Structures are given as C-alpha cells and as structure tokens.
Amino acid sequence: MIKYVNDMNLRTKFLLWSALLLVGFGLLASTLYYLHLKSILVRDALDTSEVILLEVESIREYVRDVLRPTISRREPPDTFIIEAMSSTFVSLNIMRRFGTKMEGYSFRRAALNPLNPDNRADDFEEEMFSWFEEDPSRTLWRGIVVRNGQLSFVTIIPDYMEKSCLRCHGDASRAPAEVVRRYGTAGGFRFKEGDLAGINSVSIPVAEAFARIRRNSIIVFVVIQAGAALLLFLFSVLFNNLVIRRLTHVNHALVAKKTSRQPNQDELDILRQSVTSLSRYVRAARKGAGLQPNFIDSWSIGPPITGGTLSWIYQGRDLAVNRDISLKIGLSEVLANPLYETCLRTELRIFASFHHECVPEIIATREDMLVMEPLPQMDLAEWIESTRNHTLGRKTILARLCDLVATMHTAGIVHHDLRPEIFLVGDTEKEIKIIDMGLASWREIPDVILSSGLGPQGDFASMAPEQLRGERSNPLSDIYALGVLLYRMVTRTMPFAARPSGPRGWLQAKKEVVPPSARGADITPELEQIILRAMAWEPAKRYQWIEDLWEDLKRAL
C-alpha cells in the first residue's frame, strides 16, 4: 500500500491526503456536534428533573405542614386519612397523573421495607440505597440508564426520616389504625429519626432524543463531505494550473534532456534532482572564484581543502606572523538564509567553546569565519579506501573518535552527522580532526533545526532511524552513526542493500542491514556483533553509552 502511494504523482498525492484530511475533519466536526447536542440534552434533562423533584417536595411539604395539621384539628386525634394526610401517598398519586400526560416521564419513591409493597425497591434502586448509605454526605445521583424498558435520564435523591413521620413509621403499636388496617405491620415501621427511609427518583426518556441527535450528526457529516468534495475538485483544478504546470516548465528548463521518472518519485523529486545537478555545476564553478577570495585582513586564502554542511575549509597563511593556517568560511548561500546563518553561528560557537584533541585549535574568530591551525588534506572517506586502512589504524582512529563523541555528549553536544567526510586524517592515525558541526545541537543553545521544523538534515545513509523521523538531541543517534562508520571501515562499503532517495525510503532500508561477513570482509563474529548492535534499529537495543562501545571494540580489534 505504501509503495502504491509513493508511486503516485504529486497531484494525486495532494488530492489523496487532502481527501483524508477533509474526511477526518468531517468526522471530528460531526462528533463534536453530536457531543454538543448531547450535553445540551443532558443539561435540559437535569434541569427538568430538578424542577419535578422540587414540585414533589413542595407537595409533600404542603401535606405535612398544612393539610395534615388542618385535618388533625378538625377530626378526632386518632384519625388518619391516608388520601389526605400521607405525604407519600398524595405525591405519588399526583405524579402518577402527571406521568399519564407526559409519556415516559415517571416519579418513584422506593424503600427497602415499605408500607406499600408497590414501592419496594428493585435491583437498581437497592444499589442506589447502598450508594447513599456508604456516604451520608451524598445528596444526588444522576445518570443515563435503562428504566421501564427505555433509555432514560434518571435523577435520584435520598429521603431521610423526619420526626413528624414517626407517627406512621415508628412503633407499629402506636401507628394510626387506618395505616395498620390498610398495609398491615409487615413493613414500613421501626424507623428512627435520621434513618434513610427511601429514595425519590425521576426518569425522563432520552432514547428518541439521542436517535434524533445521531441523525442530525450524520446529516452534518454528509453535508460537510459534500462541501469537501466540491472544495477538493476546485483544489484539484487550481493545483494543476498553479503548481503542476509550472513545476513541469521548471523541470524542462533545468535539464537538457527529458528525465525519466523512477519508481517512488514525484514531480518534486525530479525537480530536486535537477536542482542538485545544477548546484554541483555552480559549486564547481565558484570554488576558485567567489568562494576563494585573495585576502581577509592579514590572512591569505589558498585553495579549498574540503566542503562542510555550511562552510568551506581553505588552506591559508597568516602573513602577519608568517605561518600556515586553515580557514573555515561560511558559504554565501548559507549567509543569505537567516535560518542557516543561525546554524552556522551555532557551529562556530561550538568550535570556539569545545576543546578536544580532535577539534582544531582556534587561532581567531570572525562573525562568519574561523581561523584554525593547519589541517591535513585527506578525509577519512579517502583513508578508508587507502592501504592505510588496517586493524591497527582503525583501532587508533576509533579510540580518538569514541573519546571525542563521549566528550561531546558529556558537554551536552549531539553531532547528528558523524560521517567519514567530516574528519581529516594526518600523516599518522593519531592526527585526526573534525571539521564540521553544522547540524549539531548543544544544550546551551536552542536547537534551531528542531524549532524551525526543518525535518531530517544531513546524510541519510549515516542517520539513525529516529533522526529520519525528525527526532534530535538523542546521543544514541551518534552511536548509530559510529556503527555505520565502523561498518565502512571494515567492509569499504555501505551497510544497506538499497540506496533510496528520501527519508521514508531510507527508513525502510535501514531495517535490513547486510551483515559485514556477507560482504566478504575478514571480520570476527565478535566484531560483527558489535557493529550490528551499534546499528540496531531500536535505540533501546543499541549501546547506551559510547564508553561501553569502546570497551567492546578494544577487546575485539
């Protein structure tokens, strides 16, 4: 599936990802709409249930405080007319009539041991009794449950026994004769003031309202997708006219002959290849011209030694003291870009602040330039291909590189671009210098590359998988790069069977490392395992400290 997407052209990729984003937006919008309507429904149901409970409580208070005392004054003392003097009986009957007019709405008073068996608590209400008894400070429960066979919003409050109610619910021998005659003495008695006598609940049906909300949310989703489809069509037309056609013209202008499209390439990949080729021609032309001035102050500029990520290294001579020097001068195209200019200044600051035998001695600094000690002419990539590449030489170089990287990590520096081309080797392997830190991060300075969202920068072949995913400042990435460098030392080739063109391709390629022994290298199993561990796909499976890597290398080399 991924290969199929990679083979699409730029226009198709753009439309595909736009469609996925719009579908995702539609789902998000309709879901938020549904949740918003649901919250409104629940809030309305809560308000309604509270009103009903307040009405019921008002009825009970009226019976208890007005109706019952009035009848008691006019009738004999032992008279108790349930239909007029029982607050529970009156409130239940009034709400039963209310329920016949509001279909689905119901009020219920339930007890564990009621006078009227019709008011006995069911399983759900028994759970609510236990919930209120566990913590007397609880005064309200609300939720959406199935009641009477339909989904309902239920609000429940506890009802505690008051002193005025003990006449009917206290000692059965003292209860009104009418209460005993009608309900008997099996339940509803032996309460004390403050006991949890029952729970009052209001159920409001919400199933139809939820179904209506779901229908409305689906309609919103369909409308959004219809609008998105129209918008996508307009995007397609505009993208084709404003981007694809112009890119095609630029491609034709940059290449003399038609470039055949390879698998996994789109229009931007072809354009990048064309610009890269053009850049090589421009660099070659400018080496001996614009990038090589004659003098800067008292420093005479000679021919270039090598190029770095953001600068060139030149031979030179300090005419004031008559000695050889090297100069690290920022590329003009780097200085023209504020972002890369900031990276260059970070690099120069690291060189000026960090000290190690593998770091060139800094003689003087300028805003976009370093004056350094004379540097060797051979880089480590050339050394690897030379006859000097033997076991003793490797051990000497690796000892210094491991110590350099360990010192950098201790100082809070992660290099991110450790490859043979950035090291210069002198007449002996003990003389090795690092000349590029353009992509390094340092805890003393904000990471410009990370904060600007530039994505993976540097040589993809030497990058750790997590770097290709955009992660930075992980010292384990440098250990991976050293593993690649060690592999190249031993086999004189790269560890991967394929050489993709972009980060995604390299990320896939790095899952399959060709064992050094399969390259025909004369290598011990112990050294091979060290290399493969240093290059482990998952950071947790690599060496966690550069010192541990070196300890194993000392024994294996």
Residue 308, Cβ density class (10 Å: 0-12 exposed, 13-18 middle, ≥19 buried): buried
**Structure tokens belonging to residue 56:** 């019921």
How far apart (Å, rounded) are the C-alpha atoms in residues 165 and 68? 11
Spatial separation of the C-alpha atoms in residues 474 and 447, rounded to whole Å:
12
b/e burial code for range 421-447 (CB count within 10 A of at least 16 → b): bbbbbeeebebbbbbbbbbbbbeebeb
Q: Would you state the pLDDT for residue 247? A: 61
The number of beta carbons lying within 10 Å of the beta carbon of residue 489 is: 22
Spatial distance between the Cα atoms of 463 and 470, rounded to a whole number of angstroms: 11
What's the rounded Cα separation, in Å, for the pair 404 and 358?
A: 7
Written as six digits, the tokens of 416 are 């991110």
Distance between CA atoms of residues 493 and 486, nearest Å: 10
Give the chain's radius of gyration (CA, Å).
Answer: 41
Outline where DSSP puts E strands in 47-179.
106-110, 141-147, 150-160
Measured between alpha carbons, how far is 274 from 279 in angstroms, rounded to an integer?
A: 9
Distance CA 24, CA 10 (A): 21
Taken in order 42, 48, 49, 51, the sign of the CA dihedral is positive
Nearest to 480 by CA among 397, 519, 538, 411: 538
Tokens standing for residue 173? 């021998």
**Mode of pairing for the β-strands spanning 378-379 and 299-307:** unpaired
Rounded distance between C-alpha atoms, residue 484 and residue 549, angstroms: 13
Is residue 96 within 8 A of residue 105, CB to CB? The reply is no
C-alpha dihedral over 533, 536, 538, 542, to 10 degrees?
30
Burial class from Cβ neighbours inside 10 Å (0-12, 13-18, 19+) for residue 385 reads exposed
The per-type count for the chain, helices as H runs and strands as E runs, is 21, 15
Q: What pLDDT is stored for residue 257 in this prediction?
A: 43
CATH number of 378-556, picked from 1.10.510.10, 2.130.10.10, 1.10.1040.10, 1.20.120.160: 1.10.510.10
Q: pLDDT value at position 452?
A: 80
pLDDT along the chain (557 residues), means of 10: 53 77 85 85 80 80 82 78 78 75 79 84 89 89 83 87 79 78 79 86 84 86 86 79 64 48 51 53 47 75 88 92 94 80 90 95 91 95 93 95 97 95 95 95 89 84 93 95 96 88 88 91 93 96 96 93
Predicted local distance difference test score (pLDDT) of residue 289: 46
- How many whole angstroms separate alpha carbon 554 and alpha carbon 24? 54
Show Cβ contacts of residue 401 under 8 Å, excluding neighbours closer than 6 positions.
Answer: 358, 418, 423, 432, 482, 485
Domain 291-372 fold is Phosphorylase Kinase; domain 1 (3.30.200)
Q: Residue 553: name the closest of 527, 529, 524 by CA.
A: 527
pLDDT value of residue 287: 46
Q: Which residue type does 386 have?
A: S
Q: Is 479 exposed, middle or buried (0-12, 13-18, 19+ CB in 10 A)?
A: buried
The dihedral built from the CA positions of residue 461, 465, 471 and 476, taken in this order, carries a sign that is negative
CA 339 to chain centre: 25
> CA-CA distances (angstroms) from residue 344 to 115, 157, 337?
88, 70, 10
Burial of 117 (0-12, 13-18, 19+ CB in 10 A): exposed
Consecutive H or E run containing 401: helix 391-410
Q: Give the integer Cα–Cα distance in Å for 377 and 313.
A: 10
Pairing relationship of beta strands 196-205 and 362-366 according to DSSP bridges: unpaired
Task: For residue 175, give the nearest of 57, 85, 246, 55 by alpha carbon.
Answer: 85
The helix or strand, by DSSP H or E, that contains position 203, with its residue range, turns out to be: strand 196-205
Phi, psi at 310, each rounded to 5°: -125, 0
- CA separation for the pair 168, 99 (Å, rounded): 27
What pLDDT, on the 0 to 100 scale, is given for residue 252? 55
C-alpha–C-alpha distance, residues 426 and 429, integer Å: 7
CA angle 413, 484, 277 (to 5 degrees): 90
All structural domains of the chain with their residue ranges? 11-211, 291-372, 378-556
